[in-house]
């Protein structure tokens, strides 16, 4: 009898040990959403973030990816983050975020950034970090700036070589007041819509064109629905890596650092993807059959002059001092 009881006790101890081991082995699922395919620059950011967090946490966190707007448009997933009812992490465009944190809109001003190096210096410096800090007040935890690159125009009507070519052009823009103001001022007919609606609208002829970085144009194979590509570089387009405050508050300080450092790894991966797209994207579009023209500095100056009235509105919204500080950043 005593021997039987001893065996039961031993079995109980073994079961307890096994249960404790299972408890320690439990993982936390992190659902991450983004608008484009896994093979896009959005996917590169999500993968870089995922890899670092998974490895550094020893597998205590695992990421489940929802690419290609599988959880809805960017507005919907951002609202879900705020409420803590959707995914835990997102990689989203700055255009969608301007409706939640208006200060981010300053980065969308046309012809503000000279090149990628200038834009990265601004975002990684005090100006960019100050904007990041404002997200917490809007129930969003912004951990790092991502990047899409400079935006260019595609359409099915004609090459865009001078401001007059934009007259009446039905062009999809993000739901971004800064972009909308610029195209309205230039004489176009901006049509804001979420990304999942764009390809069908182009196929049906509801809009003439759209504007996006080469990283998007290539990954979305826009040559399947667009004939002309104008390398205009009219706007630099950042993105952002964000987590929900509900999820963030559930993390220990150690895990918060892991996620923040992982977001920086995601940023680096996204920028590397953009660098490659900027180098090879135009040739890829040409080989796919798009008719490509590239604006000269002189032509860009004409477009900048055409939207000069919009700058007066930007000064009122973001202050001339801030815009001048961005321009002066080395």
| pLDDT classification of 25: cutoffs 50, 70, 90 | low
Q: What is the pLDDT of residues 173-182, one digit of tens each?
A: 988 889 999 9
Q: What is the largest CA-CA distance in the chain?
A: 98
For residue 174, the tally of other CB atoms under 10 A from its CB is: 28
22 pLDDT more than 50:
no
pLDDT tens for each residue of 206-231: 999 999 999 899 989 999 999 999 99
Task: Write down the pLDDT at residue 52.
Answer: 98
Q: How far apart are CA 153 and CA 223, in angstroms?
A: 12
Q: DSSP characters for 233-254?
A: EEEEEEEEEEE-HHHHHTS-HH
Is the pLDDT assigned to residue 82 strictly greater than 60? yes
* Residue 94 predicted with pLDDT over 70: yes
Q: What is the pLDDT of residues 102-123, one digit of tens each?
A: 999 999 999 999 999 999 999 9
| Dist CA 147 CA 329 (whole Å) | 18
**Statement: residue 191 has pLDDT above 60:** yes
Task: Give pTM, 2 decimals.
Answer: 0.84
d(CA 38, CA 16): 41
Residue 43 has pLDDT above 50, yes or no: yes
Q: In whole angstroms, what is the distance from residue 277 CA to residue 256 CA? A: 32
At CB < 8 A and 24+ separation, what contacts does 314-320 make? Answer: 314/106, 314/109, 314/178, 314/181, 317/102, 317/105, 318/103, 318/105, 318/106, 318/109
Domains of the chain: 28-328 (3.40.190.170)
pLDDT of residue 17: 40
If one counts every other C-beta atom within 10 angstroms of the C-beta of residue 142, the result is 21
- What is the 8-class DSSP label of residue 195? G
Phi, psi of 65, rounded to the nearest 5 degrees: -90, 140
Residue 136 has pLDDT above 70, yes or no: yes
């Amino acid at each position: 009898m005593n021997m039987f009881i001893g065996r039961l006790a031993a079995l109980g101890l073994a079961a307890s040990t096994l249960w404790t081991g299972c408890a320690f082995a439990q993982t936390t699922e992190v659902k991450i959403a983004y608008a484009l395919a896994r093979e896009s620059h959005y996917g590169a950011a999500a993968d870089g973030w995922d890899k670092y967090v998974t490895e550094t946490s020893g597998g205590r966190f695992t990421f489940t990816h929802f690419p290609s707007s599988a959880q809805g448009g960017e507005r919907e997933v951002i609202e879900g983050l705020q409420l803590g009812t959707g995914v835990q992490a997102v990689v989203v465009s700055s255009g969608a975020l301007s409706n939640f944190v208006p200060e981010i809109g300053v980065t969308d001003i046309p012809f503000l950034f000279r090149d990628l190096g200038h834009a990265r210096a601004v975002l990684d410096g005090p100006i960019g970090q100050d904007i990041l800090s404002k997200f917490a007040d809007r129930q969003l935890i912004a951990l790092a700036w991502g990047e899409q690159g400079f935006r260019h125009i595609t359409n099915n009507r004609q090459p865009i070589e001078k401001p007059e070519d934009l007259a009446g052009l039905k062009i999809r823009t993000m739901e971004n007041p800064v972009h909308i103001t610029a195209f309205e001022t230039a004489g176009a007919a901006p049509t804001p819509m979420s990304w999942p609606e764009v390809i069908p609208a182009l196929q049906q002829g509801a809009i003439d064109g759209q504007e996006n970085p080469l990283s998007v144009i290539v990954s979305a194979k826009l040559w399947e629905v667009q004939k002309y590509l104008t390398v205009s570089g009219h706007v630099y387009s950042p993105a952002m890596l964000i987590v929900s405050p509900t999820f963030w508050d559930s993390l220990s300080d150690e895990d918060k650092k892991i996620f923040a450092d992982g977001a920086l790894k995601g940023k680096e991966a996204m920028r590397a993807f953009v660098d490659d797209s900027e180098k090879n994207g135009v040739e890829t579009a040409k080989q796919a059959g798009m008719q490509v023209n590239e604006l000269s500095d002189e032509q860009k100056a004409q477009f900048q002059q055409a939207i000069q009235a919009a700058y007066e509105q930007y000064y009122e919204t973001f202050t001339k001092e801030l815009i001048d500080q961005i321009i002066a950043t080395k």
